[in-house]
Amino acid sequence: MGHHEFEHNPERGLFVSMPQEMSRFLKSRISVICALVFLLFLFIFAACSSSTEPVVLPEDLTFQYTPTSGLVTLFHGDSTDFSVATNPSVTFAKQWNLNANVVGTEPAYHFEAVHIGIDTLRLESTYSGVHWNRTWYVNIVENSTTTPPEVASVSLDHGNEAGDVEVSWHMIPQSTYPIEEYQVAMSYDGAITSANWTEATLLGSYPHLYNQVGYSVVYSEAEDGMLPGEVAWFAVRALDEVGQMSALSSSYNHLISSPWFIEGYVFDDNGEALSNVIISYGCPSCRVNSDSEGRYVIGPLPNVNTYDLTSLTSNSSCDGEPCDSFYDFIAHDVTYDPEGNYDIMLLGRYGLDDSCENYDLNFMTYFREMTRTVFPTSLRPTYELFKWESYPVKVYVPPFTSVNGLDYESLCKEVVGFWNVAMGEEYLQLVDSPEEAMIELYFGDEGTLYAGRTFLAQPNDEDFRLGDVIPEKVLVYVWDQLPNATNVQETTMHELGHSLGLFAHTVCSGDGFIMSANHAGILANGPENAVHPDEKRAVRAIRNLPQGTDISAFDWE
Ligand SMILES: [Zn+2]
C-alpha cells in the first residue's frame, strides 16, 4: 500500500517523474534568479553598510589642505604636491583649477613651476551638494642657475631731436631657456636694480629676433615722456620663455638733451643784413634761410650735439662793390653755449687789384696775409681773428714839436681824421688822455731803421704780438727826426693801419696801398684816396667780423 501510495502520489510523482521539465524550468530562469539574488545581496550589503557607518553631515566635515599656507613660493623648475583630505574621511568630489583651467580631480595635484610669476591654484570640493573652495597663490621666482645672463653693451646716446634718448644693446647669445624679449626701463629716481625694477618705468618690450645682434630704440619727449634737461637712469633686461629676467648689475644715467635754437644774423663785411642765405647744419635737408633782416633760426636741436654750420651762397667771383658772391663760411663743431654768438659774417669775393698777383688776385688770400691768420702763431694756436673790442678806437696823440719845427701833435691828429675820411665812417676817435686811449702815439728816436712802428702793449703777459690776442692797448712810435710834415702824416697813417688790424705789409706791386712798405706819396691825392679799396674792405671786414672768428672757416677757394 505504501509503495502504491508512493507511486501514485501525484505531487511526489510530479517531482520524481518529471525531473527533465524541472531542469528545463531552472535553466530558463537561472539568469533572472541570479540577478535577483545579486540585487538582494546588494540590498543587504547596502543595508548593512548604512547601518555600520555613522552618517557625516557636511557641516561636520573639516578639511586638511597641504600645503597649509595659502601663499607658496617656488623656484622656477621646482615642483610640489598640493592635496586635500577630510576628517572624518569621506568620499567627495574634487576639482583642481590652475588659473582658468581645470587640471585634475584627484585628491592630490602635482604642481610644476614653469613660469615666473604668480599662479592661482584653486581646489573645489563637493560633498552632499555642498561646495568648499580653497585657493593657493604660487609665487614662482627666478632660479639663479638658469636666469639669462646680463644684457651686454648697453649704451645711451642722444637722438636727432631734443629730448631724444637712444638706447642700444646686444643680443644675449646663450641662455638656459630661449630669450623671448628685451625690456627697457627708465627711472628718474636713481639707479635701477633687479630689486626696484618693477618700480621703474617700462619704456618698451622688444622681441628677441633670430640673428639680430644689435638693438637700438629711440625714446622721445612726445612719445615716451623723456624730460629734457633731466638725468635719467636706463636699464635693459631680457626675459626668457619661462618668464625669468636676466641679471641686472648696472644701469646707466644720462642727461636728456634740452632744446637748443642756433640763431643769429647773417651779414656782409659792411655789416649789411644778408637775406635768403641758406645755412646748412648737417644733413642734406637740414637747412634754413636767413630772413629779410638776415636772421636765421635753427632748431630745436639737442643741446648736446655739435653741428657744422655752412653758408651756401654763390661761389662765382665778382669784382668790386656791390657784390653778392661770398666766401662761404663753415663753422665746425658748433656747440651749445647759452652766451654764444652765432652771427655769421660773409666776406665778399671782391677780387683784388690787378697788381696783386702775389695773392692770386684772391681777396681771401690777401685778407689772411694782412691779418696774419694764414698760420697759427706760437701764442695763438688757432686761426682766430682778434680785433678791437669796440669801435671807434680811441687814440691819444701827445703834444710834441720836433727839432725840425714840425707840430707832430697837430699833424697826427689830422691823420686820425684822414682815416675816418678814407673809410667814410669813424674808425678812430681822438681822446685827451693816454689812460683812456686804446692806441697811444709817442715820438722819439729809438735808432731803428723804421720811421715808425706799432706794437701791442697790453695784454703783454706772454709777450703777445699783434694778432695773438684781443688788443687792449697798442703803442705807435713815430720817429721824431722826420724831415717834413708829409713824412710824419704818411708814416702815422701807415702805422694806424697796423693798429686797425692790417699787420702785414701789402705786396701788391701797384700804387695806392697805404700798407705797402713804401707808401711815399700816398696822401698826394687826398686822404680819401690814401687807403686802397682792397685795404678798406679788409679794415671794414675786421671791424665787422665777430670777435674770434676762425678765419680758416672761410671757404678759401
Ligand atoms: Zn709797417
- What span, in angstroms and rounded, lies between the C-alpha atoms of 460 and 477? 17
The enclosing domain of 66 has a CATH number of 2.60.40.10
Q: Provide the 8-state DSSP code for 321.
A: S
Specify whether 222 is located in the same domain as 272.
no
Same domain for 500 and 391: yes
pTM equals: 0.65
pLDDT of residue 212: 93
Q: How far is the CA of 517 from the centre of ligand 1 (A)?
A: 6
Average pLDDT over residues 46-66: 73
> Which of 82, 111, 141 is at the close of a domain?
141
Q: Using CA atoms, how far apart are residues 142 and 148, in angstroms rounded to an integer?
A: 10
Q: 357 CA to middle of ligand 1, Å?
A: 21
pLDDT in tens, 165-221: 999 999 999 999 999 999 999 999 999 998 999 999 999 999 999 889 999 999 999
In angstroms, the CA 129 to CA 432 distance is 118
Whether the predicted pLDDT of 498 surpasses 90:
yes
Q: Are 75 and 113 in contact (CB under 8 A)?
A: yes
Q: What is the pLDDT of residues 75-106, one digit of tens each?
A: 988 999 999 999 999 999 999 999 989 999 99
The mean pLDDT of 259-265, rounded to a whole number, is: 92
Q: What is the pLDDT of residues 271-314, one digit of tens each?
A: 899 999 999 998 888 999 999 999 999 988 888 888 999 998 86
Inter-residue contact 77 to 146 (CB < 8 Å) = yes
Residue type, 164: D
Summarize the confidence of residues 386-393 as an average pLDDT.
Answer: 97
For residue 371, pLDDT over 90 is answered with: yes
Q: For residue 466, how far is its CA from the centre of ligand 1 (angstroms)?
A: 12
Q: Quick: pLDDT tens for 113-169.
A: 988 889 999 999 999 999 999 999 999 988 888 999 999 999 999 988 889 999 999
Q: Is residue 418 part of a domain?
A: yes
Distance 471 CA to ligand 1 centre (A): 18
For the cut 90, the answer to whether the pLDDT of residue 373 exceeds it is yes
Residue 30 within any structural domain of the chain: no
103: its cell numbers: 587640471
The answer to whether residues 395 and 471 touch, using CB atoms and an 8 Å cutoff, is no
How far, in Å, is the centroid of ligand 1 from the Cα of 488?
14
Domain membership of residue 549 as a residue range = 375-553
In a domain, 382, yes or no: yes
**Residue 323 — very low, low, confident or very high, per pLDDT cuts 50/70/90?**
low
| CATH number, domain with residue 285 | 2.60.40.1120
pLDDT of residue 486 exceeding 60, the answer is: yes
Q: Tell me the CA–centroid distance for residue 392 and ligand 1, in Å.
A: 21
Q: Does any domain span residue 41?
A: no
Q: How far is the CA of 467 from the centre of ligand 1 (A)?
A: 14
Q: Nearest-5° angle of CA 274, CA 276, CA 278?
A: 105
The three-state (H, E, C) secondary structure of 266-284, written as one string:
EEECCCCECCCCEEECCCC
CATH of the domain at 487: 3.40.390.10
Q: Is residue 8 part of a domain?
A: no
Do 245 and 300 lie in a common domain? Answer: no
Query: What's the pLDDT at 211?
Result: 85
182 and 328 inside one domain: no
Indicate whether 480 belongs to any domain. Answer: yes
- Picking from 316, 350, 384, the residue at the C-terminal end of a domain is 350
Domains identified in the chain, total number: 4
- Position 324 scores a pLDDT of 66
The answer to whether the beta carbons of residues 260 and 303 sit under 8 Å apart is yes
Average pLDDT, integer, range 353-370 = 92
Q: Is the pLDDT of residue 20 over 70?
A: no
Read off the C-alpha cell for 114.
614653469
Q: Can you give the pLDDT at residue 15?
A: 40
Residues 296 and 345 in one domain: yes
Q: Is the pLDDT of residue 389 over 90?
A: yes
* CB contact at 8 A, 90 and 127: yes
Residue 509 identity (one-letter amino acid) = S
> Per the domain annotation, does 370 fall within a domain?
no
For residue 340, pLDDT over 60 is answered with: yes
pLDDT at position 297, please? 95
d(CA 31, CA 220): 88
391 and 537 share a domain? yes
- Rounded mean pLDDT, 386-409: 96
Q: Which three cell numbers stand for residue 35?
A: 540577478
Nearest to 272, CA basis, from 541, 549, 528: 541
Q: Is the pLDDT of residue 43 over 80?
A: no
Q: Look at residue 320 and tell me whether its pLDDT is greater than 60.
A: no
CA distance 312 to 328: 6
Same domain, 479 and 422: yes
Does residue 544 share a domain with residue 429? Answer: yes
Among the candidates 238, 255, 272, a domain finishes at: 255
Q: Which has the higher per-residue pLDDT, 380 or 144?
A: 380
How is the chain split among helix, strand and coil, in percent rounded to 5? 20, 35, 45
Average per-residue pLDDT for the chain: 88
pLDDT of 1 > 70? The answer is no
Secondary structure (3-state) at 394 = strand
Cα 490 to ligand 1 centre (Å): 11
Are 181 and 107 in the same domain? Answer: no
Task: Please determine, for residue 53, whether its predicted confidence score (pLDDT) is greater than 70.
Answer: no
- CA of 512 from ligand 1 middle (Å) equals 15
Q: For residue 227, what pLDDT is reported?
A: 94
Distance 557 CA to ligand 1 centre (A): 28
Q: Is residue 361 part of a domain?
A: no
Q: Which residues are paired to 158 by β-bridges?
A: 165
Quick one: 465 and 504 in the same domain?
A: yes
Task: Say if residue 415 is in the same domain as residue 533.
Answer: yes
Q: How far is the CA of 454 from the centre of ligand 1 (A)?
A: 8
Euclidean distance between CA atoms 423 and 540, whole angstroms = 8
If asked whether residues 237 and 300 sit together in one domain, one would say: no
pLDDT value of position 504: 95
- How many whole angstroms from 261 Cα to the centroid of ligand 1? 44
- Give me ligand 1 centre to Cα 554, in Å: 26
